[in-house]
Amino acid sequence: MKVTEDEKIETRFGACPHDCPDACSMLYQVKDGRLTGVRGNPDHGFTRGRLCVKIKDFEKHHYNGERVLYPLRRVGAKGSGKFERVSWSDALTEIGSKWRAIIEKYGAQAILPYGYAGNIGVLNGMNAGDAFFNKLGSTIPEKTICASGTLSAQILTVGPTLGIDPESFAHAKYIVLWGSNTLSTHSHLWPFILKARHNGAKVVVIDPYRSRTAAQADWHLAIKPGTDGLLAMAMAQVIIEEGLHDEDYVDRYTNGFEAFSERVASFSPETVAETVGLDADTIRRFAREYANTQPSAIKVGVGLERHPQGSQGVRVIDCLPALVGAWRHLGGGLSQMTVFVPVNMDLLSRPEWINPNSRILNVIHLGKILTGGLAIDPPVKSMFIWNANPAVHLPDSREVARGLAREDLFTVVSELFISDTADYADLILPATMAAEHDDILTSWGHFYINLNQKAIEPPGEAVSNSELFRRLAKEMGMTDPHFSQSDEQIMRNALDWDSPLLQGMSFETLEKQGYVRLNLPSADSYVPHAKGDFPTPSGKCEFYSSRASHTDFVAPVLRQMCDRPVADEIDPLVGFPSLIKTVDTKKTGSLQLLSPKSHAFLNSQHANEARKIRAQGPQTLLIHPDDARVRELSEGNNIEIHNENGSFQAIADLPP
Ligand SMILES: Nc1nc2c(c(=O)[nH]1)N[C@H]1C(S)=C(S)[C@@H](COP(=O)(O)OP(=O)(O)OC[C@H]3O[C@@H](n4cnc5c(=O)[nH]c(N)nc54)[C@H](O)[C@@H]3O)O[C@H]1N2
Ligand SMILES: Nc1nc2c(c(=O)[nH]1)N[C@H]1C(S)=C(S)[C@@H](COP(=O)(O)OP(=O)(O)OC[C@H]3O[C@@H](n4cnc5c(=O)[nH]c(N)nc54)[C@H](O)[C@@H]3O)O[C@H]1N2
Ligand SMILES: [Mo]
């Protein structure tokens, strides 16, 4: 802690808790016990002192008058959002007695924990409740909400690698932002891209619409949704046919090349052009430029996996850098998710307590799980939700709302605000915001681990998620010492300081700097896969995956997220046997809706801040003028968008 004498302003290290690859290192400024400001930490090598529109007045979010300050119990009908204040002790007693009754009648499997990434802290994030629920023996939620498809693709092809250092993008000569709206969702990568561009790099964005990022690109390829895998196959066909691939790299450091080249042979640009929505010449030119301009770097976002077979498409993309030998060069290769860092997940989550007979339910089907649309026994009788807003973040939200409205479903929600999900709670428990608790935060978009220090006292009776689970454990009679560890103890043990990636560092380094950079060569010299060394079973980039045919391939980090791709459904060979089916909008008369991230909100967060709502503007639907014309729509019309699952209203926005 630093104190400036004249102003009596204390500074503490902060770390942005949002589920964002940038995971900014920050400085909290505190005066007289009050958070007066939040600044970016200028010393951090990736985030470099700049904060985004969502966070730069984070102190206001802390003091938002709508914060949940006390435990609340429902008084009105479910979903009516009417609550009264109760004590913590009453709330805990009620949870304990309801759960004991449910366990006695239906077993602990009738309880479904639901934590997600509202906070990505090691202590307070989606795994905060693992140990508690493993001990309780509840159902295990499979959380394939965000990037499971992309991660699975990465693991199958190049293995759980950190990939190239995102800072090394500065050295690339050809940058492909593939289904990533980088300027809004990974904005601290942008300065490195600008640096590359200053040195002559070309920036290509592949996105069905002209996103903020696409608008800044040198070349925007407006692909049809869900067809990226086909584009990548056609690129590979051109590259192989024209001999532009790096034969030596392919021979030494990949496997399955022959089968792959046979598979892509029939995917010429002409064959895929109509489905992909790009003309054959454009595809050919893109393939040649990508292969011939080295170092080339690809950043893959989550947009691609939002479509049927999307992650199978990501596998093809993940093989392109090996095909052209991009990995040989500084700044060449692929950056996907940098999640493979030395966190002691087993110590935190205690997987040895998992009841081997526990069922796993994929929460993507929550609506059906709750309403009886999926045959499950026992039924889910209680949900415990933290860091998550499933009423808005899941598909089939109408069914989810119907499920949450069940009078016999005992729902407890730990929240900062009364979210759309908390509206349906029987009990709401008040949670702390970032400056009110300690934590360690990893990133999925850079090579640093950040420390977040408690800077101010929590408002009302808010408690951190880690304290919440200590209280629940006590209520449920769990006496294992695991549940009496302090946050400081958990933090000190949370990272594997013996890992080579943390060599020479300690918790004290974290306390001194507010962050640690993984012990890897600098971004100006790190070339991770110049000589293969992929963390796959063969050590190579796998066109033919030796993992796909085994059911036990899931890397430990994925197991902790409870992402379990079903291995026997995965084709071991990268790519598709034939053209994939896409929605034939001409035939159905329908359109395909994309719902990417908002610039000024973080998923559903900050959508209750007037300044952010102003920055974001009203809910619009960007629609192609041709599609608008046949529907007789003009700019500014109020429209309803619907399908068989639901509807929403928006203002028509027609690009010029
Ligand atoms: N249509 C559409 N749906 C999507 C997406 C999309 O692009 N379009 N994106 C998907 C993706 S990628 C994701 S990751 C998910 C995100 O979905 P969520 O993880 O649900 O996203 P958030 O809105 O960030 O956070 C959820 C809640 O956590 C609460 N929260 C924050 N910090 C804390 C804390 O410390 N303690 C407690 N107890 N609560 C806290 C917040 O107040 C918020 O209500 O949504 C998915 N759903
Ligand atoms: N400002 C802001 N930043 C965020 C978030 C936020 O809510 N707001 N959320 C955070 C989270 S949880 C995540 S997971 C990341 C995600 O960050 P991104 O990976 O950028 O995710 P999205 O914005 O959902 O989608 C990226 C782009 O993919 C495009 N897309 C959709 N379908 C396709 C397709 O079939 N092919 C191609 N090529 N593109 C397609 C969309 O139009 C969109 O522009 O952002 C994080 N950062
Ligand atoms: Mo996400």
User: What does the pLDDT read at residue 566?
Assistant: 44
Using CA atoms, how far apart are residues 283 and 286, in angstroms rounded to an integer?
5
DSSP string, 38-86: EEE-TT-TTTTT---TTTTTHHHHHT-TT---S-EEE-SSTTS--EEE-
Collect all residues with Cβ–Cβ distance below 8 Å to 266 and sequence separation of at least 6.
Answer: none
Question: For residue 633, is pLDDT > 80?
Answer: yes
User: What does the pLDDT read at residue 562?
Assistant: 42
293-316 CB burial, b ≥16 within 10 A, e <16: bbbbbbbbbbbbbbbebbbbbbbb
Q: Give the pLDDT band of residue 73 (cuts 50, 70, 90).
A: very high
For residues 313 and 230, is the Cβ–Cβ distance under 8 A? yes
Q: Give the pLDDT band of residue 244 (cuts 50, 70, 90).
A: very high
For residues 388 and 422, is the Cβ–Cβ distance under 8 A? no
* Alpha carbon of 270 to ligand 3 centroid (Å): 35
Collect all residues with Cβ–Cβ distance below 8 Å to 172 and sequence separation of at least 6.
Answer: 196, 201, 295, 296, 297, 331, 332
The amino acid at residue 589 is: G
| Other residues' Cβ atoms within 10 Å of the Cβ of residue 6 | 5
φ and ψ at residue 308, rounded to 5 degrees: -55, 135
Closest-lying ligand to the alpha carbon of 604? 1
Mean pLDDT of 218-238: 97
Give the residue from 69, 93, 86 showing the smallest Cα distance to 416: 69
* Alpha carbon of 599 to ligand 3 centroid (Å): 14
Question: For residue 5, is pLDDT > 80?
Answer: no
User: What does the pLDDT read at residue 645?
Assistant: 83
Atom 11, ligand 2: residue with shortest CA distance: 20
Using CA atoms, how far apart are residues 115 and 93, in angstroms rounded to an integer?
22
625-639 CB burial, b ≥16 within 10 A, e <16: eeebeeeebeeebeb
- pTM, two decimals, is 0.96
User: What does the pLDDT read at residue 559?
Assistant: 44
- Residue that has been written with the tokens 């996103």 in this structure: 211
* Alpha carbon of 485 to ligand 2 centroid (Å): 38
What is the per-residue pLDDT across 499-548, written as a single tens digit (0 to 9) for each? 999 999 999 999 999 999 999 999 999 999 999 999 999 999 999 998 77
φ and ψ at residue 622, rounded to 5 degrees: -80, 120
Q: Is 385 in the pocket of ligand 1 (CB under 6 A)?
A: no
Mean pLDDT of 264-280: 97
Which structure tokens are listed for 78? 């479910």
Collect all residues with Cβ–Cβ distance below 8 Å to 547 and sequence separation of at least 6.
Answer: 155, 156, 536, 537, 553, 567
Query: What residue ranges line ligand 2, CB within 6 angstroms?
Result: 19-20, 146-147, 178-181, 184-185, 206-209, 211, 223, 225-226, 228, 301-304, 306-307, 594, 596-599, 601-603
Question: For residue 427, is pLDDT > 90?
Answer: yes
Using CA atoms, how far apart are residues 586 and 465, in angstroms rounded to an integer?
49
Question: For residue 568, is pLDDT > 60?
Answer: no
For residues 106 and 381, is the Cβ–Cβ distance under 8 A? yes
Least confident of 18-32, 342-356, 568-582: 568-582
Please compute, for residue 357, the number of CA atoms within 13 A of its CA located in the half-sphere on the CB side: 6
Q: Is 387 in the pocket of ligand 1 (CB under 6 A)?
A: yes
Least confident of 33-42, 275-284, 444-453, 578-587: 578-587
| Other residues' Cβ atoms within 10 Å of the Cβ of residue 357 | 8
The mean predicted confidence, pLDDT, of the chain is 93
Q: Is 548 in the pocket of ligand 1 (CB under 6 A)?
A: no
User: What does the pLDDT read at residue 556?
Assistant: 36
Atom 46, ligand 2: residue with shortest CA distance: 20
User: What does the pLDDT read at residue 3?
Assistant: 55
User: What does the pLDDT read at residue 640?
Assistant: 96
Ion ligand 3 — residues with CB < 5 Å: 146
| Other residues' Cβ atoms within 10 Å of the Cβ of residue 611 | 12
For residues 444 and 338, is the Cβ–Cβ distance under 8 A? yes
Using CA atoms, how far apart are residues 544 and 271, in angstroms rounded to an integer?
23
Using CA atoms, how far apart are residues 86 and 429, in angstroms rounded to an integer?
10
User: What does the pLDDT read at residue 225?
Assistant: 95
User: What does the pLDDT read at residue 553?
Assistant: 47
Q: Is 303 in the pocket of ligand 1 (CB under 6 A)?
A: no
Closest-lying ligand to the alpha carbon of 52? 2
For residues 276 and 227, is the Cβ–Cβ distance under 8 A? yes
Of the chain, the percentage scoring pLDDT greater than 70 comes to 96
- Residue that has been written with the tokens 């929240």 in this structure: 415
Of the chain, the percentage scoring pLDDT greater than 90 comes to 84
φ and ψ at residue 648, rounded to 5 degrees: -150, 165
Question: For residue 467, is pLDDT > 50?
Answer: yes
For residues 484 and 93, is the Cβ–Cβ distance under 8 A? no
User: What does the pLDDT read at residue 6?
Assistant: 56
Collect all residues with Cβ–Cβ distance below 8 Å to 375 and sequence separation of at least 6.
Answer: none
Least confident of 329-333, 412-416, 553-557, 636-640: 553-557
Question: For residue 557, is pLDDT > 70?
Answer: no
Using CA atoms, how far apart are residues 211 and 179, in angstroms rounded to an integer?
10
Which structure tokens are listed for 579? 């053209």
* Alpha carbon of 162 to ligand 3 centroid (Å): 18
Q: Interhelix angle for 88-106 vs 465-475, to 10°?
A: 60
Using CA atoms, how far apart are residues 125 and 128, in angstroms rounded to an integer?
5
Give the residue from 545, 543, 570, 577 showing the smallest Cα distance to 240: 543
Atom 11, ligand 1: residue with shortest CA distance: 146
Using CA atoms, how far apart are residues 116 and 358, in angstroms rounded to an integer?
20
Which structure tokens are listed for 568? 């026997």
Domains and CATH numbers, the chain: 72-141+347-496 (3.40.50.740), 149-336+527-561 (3.40.228.10), 585-653 (2.40.40)
Give the residue from 355, 424, 409 showing the smallest Cα distance to 379: 409
Using CA atoms, how far apart are residues 156 and 104, in angstroms rounded to an integer?
42
Strands of 453-542 (E only): list them. Answer: 515-517, 541-542
For residues 596 and 622, is the Cβ–Cβ distance under 8 A? no
CA of 594, closest atom in ligand 2 = 31
Grouping H, G, I as helix, E, B as strand and the rest as coil, residue 215 is: helix
Give the residue from 112, 108, 90 showing the smallest Cα distance to 99: 108
